[in-house]
Amino acid sequence: MDMPMTTPDNITTADIKRWLSRGRGIAREIEALKEAKTVAVNRAASVSARAGNKRLGGRKSRLEDKLVTVEVYSDEIDTKITDLHATLMEIMHAIYTIDDSNQRQVLIGRYIQFKHWWEIADSMGYCVNNVRDHLHRKALNAMKVCVHLWFMM
């Protein structure tokens, strides 16, 4: 677990929230990487459609060089996306160490599905204040215990 602290004794609720909140940034980064890959592949496809199958001289053409470059770029993006998904899975695994299903539901809704408080409350049949102020706080405190146990392993 890649927590920003060195010992479990000084972990705060704010630390747990920051650690869980990485999911939102990761999800945005994954979407941006997918978009960048799509743009690069579409540009390469556009260039290759206009150029046809012409080959320039005895060396590889610029088109072939560009296609190889796009393939390498695409592979690098896929690797980065895989790493980011692994981090999301780490967050999800940590959430699933909490025993209480309502607390897990709040954390998943907020930090994995990026829902608004009212959406989480509505799906659970609770009022927003109960979810945000009570269940969320209890879930964060449960995460502190889980992190403490994680460090002791």
**Residue 83 maps to a domain:** yes
pLDDT of the residue at 81: 96
**Residue 7 maps to a domain:** no
Here the CATH number for the domain that contains residue 105 is 1.10.10
Q: Sign of the CA dihedral 60, 62, 64, 68?
A: positive
**Residue 70 maps to a domain:** yes
pLDDT greater than 50 at residue 16: yes
**What is the overall mean pLDDT for the chain?**
83
Q: Residue 67 belongs to what domain range?
A: 22-95
pLDDT of the residue at 8: 58
pTM over 0.85: no
pLDDT of the residue at 144: 87
Indicate the Cα dihedral angle 65, 43, 86, 137, nearest 10°.
Answer: 150
pLDDT of the residue at 7: 55
Instruction: Give me the number of domains the chain comprises.
Output: 2
Asked whether residue 68 falls in the same domain as residue 45, the answer is yes
pLDDT of the residue at 126: 97
Please say which residue of 78, 95, 112 terminates a domain: 95
Please say which residue of 72, 95, 118 terminates a domain: 95
pLDDT of the residue at 50: 52
Give tens-digit pLDDT for 70-103: 889 999 999 999 999 999 998 999 999 999 999 9
Indicate the angle between helix axes 136-152 and 62-95, nearest 10 degrees.
Answer: 100
**What is the DSSP code (8-state) at residue 2?**
-
**Residue 10 maps to a domain:** no
